[in-house]
Amino acid sequence: MTANVGGMDLARIDERTGLGEYGLESVALKMLADRIGERFGVAFSPTLFYERRGLGGVADWLVEEYGPRVAAAVAAPAATGPAAATGPAAAAGAASDAASMVVTEPAMGAVPEGKADAGPIAVIGMSGRFPGSPDLDCYWDNLVACRDLVTEVPPDRWDWRALCQDVPEDQQGRYRWGGFIDDVDKFDPLFFGISPAEAEMMDPQQRVLLETVWSAIEDAGYRPSRLAGQDVGLFAGVQFSDYQHLLHEAGVLNARVGLGNEHSIVVNRISYLLDLHGPSEPVNTACSSSLVAVHRAVRSIRTGESTVAIAGGIALNLAPFSTQAAAMMGLLSPHGRCKTLDRSADGYVKGEGVGMIVLKPLHQATADGDRRRVSARSPSGTWNCTAPGPNSVTPWKSTASSQRSASSRSRGAASCPPCRTAAWDR
């Protein structure tokens, strides 16, 4: 069935190799899942291809969940195949063959018990900007009112119609829609002691993140100068380099361009300007970058690297390159809407955002009289380059939940991976 759906030579398929490595994407996986379900008379979700690596993992699951039914189906002749052996012996043999494919691998090493402080971490300050939302209060109002903040690509970014000259009309929506922050080109460099000439060469992601970190510290009730010289860690998710592409296209190259567009400098500049003495790390794990940055920040506090940590991320779509690439890969929705956890999911919509939070051990925040917005406990794996693997994500989530020691009723929100296709959203 797999060779048929994927148009592959059966001899090429290794039972423990993830199907994504053979180039099978969500449409093919959904078709294969449907055929498996029909063949064995079971409910088979395409997400199982993510959870159970390779066809061997799928066989393991079928035997575990539907052993007798699978054995009976294998013993019976397939509708379009040659006659197969029947009877109890054949059924038992089929189940045994599938079960023999189960392989146990040693778990990856975890942090040894007793080596880290498992105490809760308080979020004492935060700041952010999102489409149609210059601050978090406005963003919350938009969420409560269920406002749709997806718009056409603004003319001051790029002309989406120019990108669609050779694109079929029913696919042009992939290039047309997005979520955009206002005024990303506005910046007061002298406030931060930066020269206008240098600021002009800085990626707007550097500028906006600097403003957001400053605001998050103020939201925590501190002057940024109060943190100078202290072990304050800074962790920020950042992925795109659109401004560097634009400068290159314009033929601009000087020493300031190098410093102004390196991801390491996105955080290092802030640590330098505020005289923060803790770790200063950019994080790029694609869609999970900000979440991983927060995880790193929590670990930094618990291991004693940082007494306070500031974490979050930023993403600005300043040029069309990443949008074009994502559209060509079939990742973007032609309808301009992300139907998360929905059967009709057909892609996502690129959006901008920046958000930073200030973290401190809960006991210290209590002693310092800090306002506590929430307490957090924290930890990834992928199935292929564009999809997280539930088998690797689930232990991560379980670890986070057990560390948090909180019942489901006390949880105000949960994070799920970015969803884009019918296969994953099911």
Length of the chain: 426
C-alpha 176/C-alpha 203 separation (Å) is 24
189 confidence band (pLDDT: 50, 70, 90)? very high
Q: In degrees to the nearest 10, what's the CA dihedral of 213, 288, 27, 66?
A: -140
Answer yes or no: is pLDDT of 32 > 80: yes
Q: In degrees to the nearest 10, what's the CA dihedral of 303, 305, 311, 316?
A: -120
pLDDT of residue 129: 98
pLDDT of residue 25: 66
pLDDT averaged over every residue in the chain? 81
Position with higher pLDDT, 155 vs 22: 155
**90-115 residue pLDDT tens:** 433 444 444 333 333 333 233 344 44
224 confidence band (pLDDT: 50, 70, 90)? very high
Of 51-55, 59-63, 103-107, 303-307, which has the strongest mean pLDDT? 303-307
121-129 and 353-361 beta bridge pairing: antiparallel
Q: Are 275 and 223 in contact (CB under 8 A)?
A: no
For 269, the token pair is 């500049």
Which residue spans within 289-408 are E strands per DSSP?
308-315, 353-361, 374-376, 382-384, 387-388
**283-323 residue pLDDT tens:** 999 889 999 999 999 999 999 999 999 999 999 999 999 99
Answer yes or no: is pLDDT of 264 > 90: yes
Answer yes or no: is pLDDT of 406 > 90: no
pLDDT of residue 115: 46
The dihedral built from the CA positions of residue 202, 206, 147 and 215, taken in this order, carries a sign that is: negative
Which residue spans within 7-136 are E strands per DSSP?
121-129
Q: What is the mean pLDDT of residues 321-338?
A: 90
pLDDT of residue 120: 92
pLDDT of residue 203: 97
pLDDT of residue 118: 65
- For residue 31, give every residue at least 6 positions away whose Cβ sits within 8 Å of its Cβ, in sequence order, or none: 5
C-alpha 90/C-alpha 96 separation (Å) is 10
Position with higher pLDDT, 21 vs 390: 21
Answer yes or no: is pLDDT of 55 > 50: yes
What is the set of domains in the chain, with CATH numbers?
A: 2-99 (1.10.1200.10), 121-425 (3.40.47.10)
Which residue spans within 56-179 are E strands per DSSP?
121-129, 151-152, 177-178
Tokens 């190799």 -> residue: 17
In 3D space, the residue among 277, 126, 321 whose CA is nearest the CA of residue 216 turns out to be 126
